[in-house]
Amino acid sequence: MSEFSSSNKFTSQITEFGINPSKIHRNLPVEKLVEISVQKNEGMVTSTGSLSVKTGKFTGRSPDDRFIVFDDLTHDKVHWGKVNNQLPTETFEKLSQKMKKFVEGKELFVFDGFVGADPENRQPIRIITDHAWQSLFVHQLFIRPSAAELESHKPEFTVMCINDFEAIPEIDGTTSNAFIFINLSKKLVLIGATSYAGEIKKAIFSVMNFILPSKGVFPMHCSANVGKDGDTVLFFGLSGTGKTSLSADPERMLIGDDEHGWSDKGVFNFEGGCYAKCINLKEESEPQIWNAIKTGAVLENVVIDKESLKPNFDDGSITENTRAAYPLSYIPGAVVPSIGGNPKVIIFLTADAMGVLPPVSKLSKDAAMFHFMSGYTSKLAGTERGVKEPKATFSKCFGAPFMPRPASVYAEMLGEKISKHNTAVYLINTGWSGGPYGVGKRIKIEYSRAMVTAALTGSLDIVKFSHNDIFNLDIPTECPGVPSEILEPKNTWTDRDAYDLSAKKLAQMFVDNFRKFDNISDDIRLAGPRA
């Protein structure tokens, strides 16, 4: 190793890890990482000061290429199946050695930092990449160490993401040239042949979501914010449901936009940044995200005008899954360190493309556990490879791709927390109204914001509710800032019979999906829709 910009301790850690690069950059400042990225033609600086990059053929996650090593630690703790694919230890070891050999003599970038804002529950991590812009990405997304913390840093988990390394499926035992291998025993993640930086972040989440339950901490794929009076709220929802947008509220302080833990003391963010979808981003509707796209922010796959260098957020020709990564400090009033109290309100977000779910409804504890385990939404274009239009989907715990343990483990933790802290839970549909996708219209974000505000301020505690028998949901008859006629979804459809048919179809999908869960009480099962 000819050039190291770091301590002897770090050098010996790298040697022990088993790699021998020609040059290694550790925790470079933002300006330097931007400069190197431009020099290496990895990206370009836009009119906003942000760094724009393209991620090649992978513009979203590649779930079929993700595997968890099957061994003594994981064999009876991971919920194996289509999401959590098994990988033999030998396959991992062989590819690990091959990757380490591949980076010999190459220039690498290292980020040493933390995942988890709560000092009692955080994990020291190391992320090794061969692209400067990805090192900038993780610098902005994870928790940056102080100088003293960096000096004493010893990683608990390491991610080696080598974009230029491609696997050979017939030799390496992968499904394609790309791979995401998670070894929970070795505390090592290998990522190759995909430049989509979301894979790094989600792999880290998977690790945390496996580790924390054994410590009595409930890991959650959700965003969180806090009001001036210290009232914490959680937003659960899959990509495209509005989780990031609705939690970025100018009247409240952001704790985090994607993944949190809930300990006995309260909630804490896993990250030190945000990874916001920015397709059709408008300054007037999402000013906080808009203003965060400045020097130091990373834009993924956004079309940039060649002359003005202005980002065109309305252009989805590369992908609908355009993204912006920036530190939490770019959001005015963000909570740093990103820690909050025990939540008073939980909001489940769903984007129903069938246009039949009510825009807002209140859930009992059992109904909350049912809908949490179901994790219904519509996959929106771009969030995964091959998704061109919305498609009804169920993702356990609103985050199946990152939840290695059985759904019941996480649901039980949720039920315990709701009971202990008397937390109110609401289901808000940010999807379609007046008909399905292509016929009806997307519910306005202003209305969704008003529903959230009503849930937080207690306005929904004093209104009358009606019961939707098909979905077994309690719907408020009025909500401040929302036209009453849209609260009952059937009223927004011209053809009421068509509504009933579609609603019954979705209710049946809920019932069919829930059959896959074992050892679930009748109370939880009966709290869901009725087919």
Token pair recorded at residue 387 = 């998704």
CA distance linking residue 401 with residue 422, whole number of Å: 29
Is position 187 annotated as part of the catalytic site? no
Q: Which of 52, 244, 377, 492 is catalytic?
A: 244
| Other residues' Cβ atoms within 10 Å of the Cβ of residue 482 | 22
Q: Are 531 and 511 in contact (CB under 8 A)?
A: yes
Contact between 140 and 179 (Cβ < 8 Å): no
Has 89 been annotated as catalytic?
Answer: no
User: Do 116 and 124 meet the contact criterion of CB atoms below 8 Å apart?
Assistant: no
Whether the Cβ atoms of residue 241 and residue 350 lie closer than 8 Å to each other = yes
**Alpha carbon distance 63, 315 (integer Å):** 25
Angstrom CA distances, 468 to 16, 356, 429, 530, stand at 61, 11, 14, 10
Angstrom distance (rounded) from CA 201 to CA 407 = 21
Q: Among residues 243, 260, 379, 417, which one is catalytic? A: 243
**DSSP letter assigned to residue 328:** G
- Known catalytic residue at 442: no
- Judged by DSSP in three states, 429 sits in strand
Secondary structure of residue 291 in the 3-state scheme: helix
Does residue 61 have an active-site annotation?
yes
Among 221, 277, 365, 417, the active-site one is 221
Q: Give, for 102, the enclosing helix (H) or strand (E).
A: helix 89-102
Q: Is the distance from CB of 525 to CB of 367 less than 8 angstroms?
A: no
Q: Point out the catalytic residue in the list 258, 352, 366, 474.
A: 258
**Pairing between β-strand 259-262 and β-strand 3-4 as defined by DSSP bridges:** unpaired
Q: From the CB of residue 138, how many other CB atoms can be counted at a distance below 10 Å? A: 28
Catalytic-residue membership of 467: no
Instruction: Mark whether 91 is an active-site residue.
Output: no
* Phi, psi values for residue 420, rounded to 5°: -65, -40
Identify whether 344 is a catalytic site residue: no
Measured from the Cβ of residue 273, the count of other Cβ atoms closer than 10 Å reads 30
User: One of 202, 277, 396, 449 is an active-site residue; which one?
Assistant: 202
**Given 25, 26, 61, 260, the catalytic residue:** 61
Closest CA to 408 of 293, 501, 514, 260: 514
Choice among 323, 344, 362, 417 that is catalytic:
323
> Among this protein's residues, is 74 annotated catalytic?
no
- In residues, how long is the chain? 531
Neighbours of 230 (CB within 10 A): 11
User: What is the C-alpha separation between 504 and 362, in angstroms, rounded?
Assistant: 20
Give the count of beta carbons closer than 10 Å to the beta carbon of residue 503. 22
> Which residues are designated catalytic?
61, 202, 221, 239, 243-244, 258, 323
